[in-house]
Chains A and B, each alone.
Chain A
């Protein structure tokens, strides 16, 4: 079945460091890909998405490119801030299967001042 694999955390970085959180997926067809973020004490929020190959999703300085050839959707940010500390979930939705989001296990990110 469809699945999402993302790097295990926690990931600890200093402020202004470059961030990469790896995500790969297994799916039939052409899923849409997403990154969700969960800040402490809050619900998951959609961070960015890409719906087809080579699309780049971006938001709040974060970017991820839909790479069909490598089945990847790595999350990147050039300069992280303490406020980026959160849990990040990579996810996919199959176009022909309404509503069901397949999540990765989540990666906890700690940014040190």
Chain B
């Protein structure tokens, strides 16, 4: 089946620095990618939807200037957490959807655990 690779799987950074997380669709072209965040013992919460070549659509309450999303190609989307703070520590998960498929057919990355010191 389709594979989505997410990198890195775990990152530790100092407060105030920026961290970039990559999400790649390895064997299909993903016109739409999604970024989720999961706090311990909480649900996955959709942060934003990105379509290749256009600006991301952010969910209510998600700061677009803090969580920069770039989807410059059909196989790569990046999430940059700018000026990270300890409260940004969380598990970030991306997913990708093939064009023409229904919304339940999303292929998920294994996630990135971000720890901000």
Contacts and interface: CB of A to CB of B under 8 A. Distances in A.
Interface of A: 4, 8, 32, 34, 36, 38, 41-46, 49, 89, 93, 98-106
B108 A4 contact: no
Contacts of A103: 43-45
Q: For the complex, would chain A's binding face be called helix, strand, loop or mixed by DSSP majority?
A: strand
B109 to A, nearest CB: 5
A104 B43 contact: yes
B76 to A, nearest CB: 16
A99 B108 contact: no
A100 B105 contact: no
Contacts of B42: 105
Contact of A105 (B43, B106, B107, B110): B43
A41 B110 contact: yes
21 contacts: A43-B6, A43-B95, A43-B107, A43-B109, A43-B110, A43-B111, A44-B93, A44-B95, A49-B104, A99-B32, A99-B34, A99-B49, A100-B46, A101-B44, A101-B103, A101-B104, A102-B43, A103-B45, A105-B41, A105-B43, A106-B44
B105 A46 contact: yes
Interface centre among A4, A34, A102, A103 (most CB of B within 10 A): A103
Nearest to B32: A99
A44 B32 contact: no
Interface in B73-108: 93, 95, 97, 103-108
Contacts of A38: 108
- Across chains A and B, which 9 residue pairs bring their CB atoms closest together, nearest first? A43-B108, A44-B108, A99-B103, A103-B44, A103-B43, A43-B110, A105-B43, A43-B109, A93-B103
Contacts of A105: 41-43
Interface residues of B, number: 23
B93 to A, nearest CB: 7
Contacts of B4: 43
Contacts of A45: 108
A107 to B, nearest CB: 11
B106 A101 contact: yes
